[in-house]
């Protein structure tokens, strides 16, 4: 059994860590963005699961796919996956994930905002691009969108370039790409945050806390307890 598991597990690179940062939001709150560990995946799965029922803005498909991606990471079935989380007073307000395809190419998976109206998703997506370009040292990140909001936030706002010859792992429409030149041109507008995070603020982000499923669904759908 052990020998078979060794065959089934993909090899993993030791990826450089993503250094935590804090972002001052429009609400006056500070969001800590940090890297999640594989050991924290169970609580992330608990957070994402209720959103698989929310049809608004395609949360259902994004959450379902993210759940599977995180589970694949937990079970050692995805190569070189990572996850960044956004936390306000320790409460999870969003997450992003992706992986490396090679040393020079990254793959963006998903972005989920669990509090809306504060650009949480946009800030976390920018942090993800920051990780790929500045800390992993990659040349391009392949990206697709599953919602009109995602298309406006990523493809148009940066703006990304088309890569019609690239088949993204998520399928669907053709791939788009964030290049190093696009990233550094967009960085002054879109990449926010301060480092290092003060010790007292970092301490609040040590343990991930969740809001209840009912409250979470209300936050993202605007309808109490329903999609």
In this prediction the pTM is: 0.95
C-alpha 35/C-alpha 16 separation (Å) is 11
C-alpha 177/C-alpha 159 separation (Å) is 9
Longest Cα–Cα distance of the chain, Å, equals: 53
Spatial contact of 106 and 100, defined as CB atoms under 8 Å apart: yes
Spatial contact of 218 and 59, defined as CB atoms under 8 Å apart: no
Q: Is the peptide bond before 196 cis (omega within 30 degrees of 0)?
A: yes
- Assign domain 2-8+17-221 to its CATH superfamily: Gcn5-related N-acetyltransferase (GNAT) (3.40.630.30)
Residue 33 burial by Cβ neighbours in a 10 Å radius (0-12, 13-18, 19+): buried
The 10s digit of each residue's pLDDT in 126-178 is 999 999 999 999 999 999 999 999 999 999 999 999 999 999 999 888 899 99
Residue-level pLDDT, tens digit, the chain, 227 residues: 788 888 899 988 889 999 999 999 999 999 999 999 999 999 999 999 999 999 999 999 999 999 999 999 999 999 999 999 999 999 999 999 999 999 999 999 999 999 999 999 999 999 999 999 999 999 999 999 999 999 999 999 999 999 999 999 998 888 999 999 999 999 999 999 999 999 999 999 999 999 999 999 999 997 654 43
Q: What distances in angstroms separate CA 21 from CA 5, 33, 56, 119, one per listed residue?
A: 37, 5, 30, 16
Nearest to 93 by CA among 120, 70, 111: 120
């Amino acid at each position: 059994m052990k020998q078979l598991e060794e065959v089934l597990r993909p090899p993993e690179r030791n990826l450089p860590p993503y250094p935590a940062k804090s972002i001052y939001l429009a609400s006056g709150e500070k969001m800590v963005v940090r890297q999640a560990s594989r050991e924290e995946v169970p609580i992330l799965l608990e957070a994402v699961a209720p959103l698989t029922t929310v049809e608004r803005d395609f949360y259902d498909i994004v959450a379902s796919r993210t759940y599977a991606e995180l589970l694949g990471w937990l079970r050692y079935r995805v190569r070189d996956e990572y996850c960044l989380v956004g936390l306000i007073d320790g409460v999870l307000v969003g997450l992003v994930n992706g992986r490396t395809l090679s040393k020079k190419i990254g793959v963006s998976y998903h972005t989920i905002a669990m509090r809306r109206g504060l650009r949480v998703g946009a800030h976390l997506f920018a942090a993800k691009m920051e990780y790929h370009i500045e800390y992993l040292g990659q040349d391009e990140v392949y990206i697709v969108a599953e919602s009109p909001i995602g298309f406006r936030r990523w493809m148009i706002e940066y703006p990304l370039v088309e890569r019609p010859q690239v088949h993204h792992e998520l399928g669907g429409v053709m791939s788009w790409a964030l290049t190093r030149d696009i990233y550094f041109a967009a960085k002054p507008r879109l990449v926010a945050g301060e480092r290092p995070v003060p010790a007292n603020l970092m301490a609040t982000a040590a343990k991930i806390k969740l809001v209840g499923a009912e409250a979470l669904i209300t936050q993202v759908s605007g309808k109490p307890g329903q999609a």
